[in-house]
Amino acid sequence: MNPSLAIVAVGARTPVGLAAEPTAAAVRAGLSGIREYPFLATNGEPLNLGVDARLDARLEGRERVVQLAQSVLLEVLRKLNRPGLDRSRVRVLLALPGARPGFSDADAAAVIDTLSSHLRAEGLTRPVELAGRGHAGVIAAIERFAHPADDAPLLVVGADSHAHPDTLVWLERERMLASEGARDGFVPGEAAGCLALASPRVCQTLGLPRLAAVAAVGTAYEDCSRTSETGSLGVGMTRAVTTALVGLAGADHVDVVHLDINGERYRSEEWGFVTLRVGGALGAGDYVSPCECWGDVGAASGALLAGLAVQSWARGYARGPRALVATGSLDGLRSAMLLRAPA
């Protein structure tokens, strides 16, 4: 990872905000976009979802993902608008949900094609690239592909929506939904986030603000799934976090940790083992986990959590200059990214 890589713009579309700034303000105020959704569980009880009320309620699955992703891309492009920006050189990496009922690999391909078509109208002629899947997808994409050219920013987008009947039936069948009969589950959500990354040369040439520095990124795989007898002992996440913490560069700990913990015991216990293994480098235990604001937002998690860290520095309420973002996908991929406030 190039330590000079900078986040120069962020975008967000969530159940509590239509852009990055109001989303961060809503999360800080503890507002919630979780509401009753017109879908009955098998026990006859209505489900609660973190849904974007501005989207057409008739849209489902991939249609909602397209709308969410397009919104954050347009937001970030507005923020990057500079006379010298050649949009034809801008590369877009996309993280989407892993294959599941209600969102297949064919759906992922359709999302990519639709977004690529929409972006061509905005002057972005390069096809959108699928670069990650699930919660950990955005950070994994940054680790694998973020070697920014010296002529344009790189956009990394994560988008997800659980608002599809087949997805909700699957979640209920797997006892993953938060309900009376499954207290170990989570509230499904939907959202999108976007990070614009740039090299020092691009920042200087275009006059872009360095909102945060990407100090280090780590990924690993966890062998023990949520259905294993032992649960996760945090081995994979510990490896990812330890790699990211190399970026502390002399500092003894991070100031805040942004997590995708969603109410599932599996995720909470996993992070408990990580704190035991990593120790004092994680600081005094200042954690941000906004699942009560927007539910589980899946593939959007990494970009949105990083965006919250960026906004905390921009608005002056951060606990300190170092933030860790940690996410874990259902397929076992774990990712962590250390961010530093702009100098």
The Cα–Cα gap between 135 and 299 comes to 4
Q: Is domain 6-206 given the CATH code 3.40.47.10 in the classification?
A: yes
What's the rounded mean pLDDT across residues 221-228?
A: 81
- Look at residue 1 in the predicted model and tell me its pLDDT: 56
Window from 2-6, 50-54, 251-255, 296-300 with minimum mean pLDDT: 2-6
pTM for this predicted structure: 0.95
Asked if pLDDT for residue 321 goes beyond 60, the answer is yes
SS3 string of 268-337?
Answer: HHHHHHHHHHHHHHHCCCCEECCHHHHCECHHHHHHHHHHHHHHHHHHCCCCCCEEEEEEECCCCEEEEE
- Least confident residue range of 38-42, 87-91, 197-201, 248-252: 38-42
**Same-fold call for 6-206 versus 214-340:** yes
User: What value does the mean pLDDT of the chain take?
Assistant: 92
Give the separation between CA 294 and CA 306, rounded to whole angstroms: 15
Beta bridge partners of 336: 218, 326
Q: Is the pLDDT of residue 284 over 80?
A: no
pLDDT of residue 149: 67
Distances (CA, A) of 294 to 14, 17, 49, 244, 267: 7, 10, 8, 26, 17
Out of 97-106, 148-157, 225-234, which region has the weakest mean confidence (pLDDT)? 225-234
* Mean pLDDT confidence for 102-127: 97
Average pLDDT rounded to a whole number, residues 264-269: 89
Q: Give the pLDDT score at 317.
A: 95
Domain 214-340 has CATH 3.40.47.10: yes
Domain boundaries, the chain: 6-206, 214-340
Phi and psi angles of residue 39, each rounded to the nearest 5 degrees, phi first: -150, 125
**Does residue 40 register a pLDDT over 70?**
no
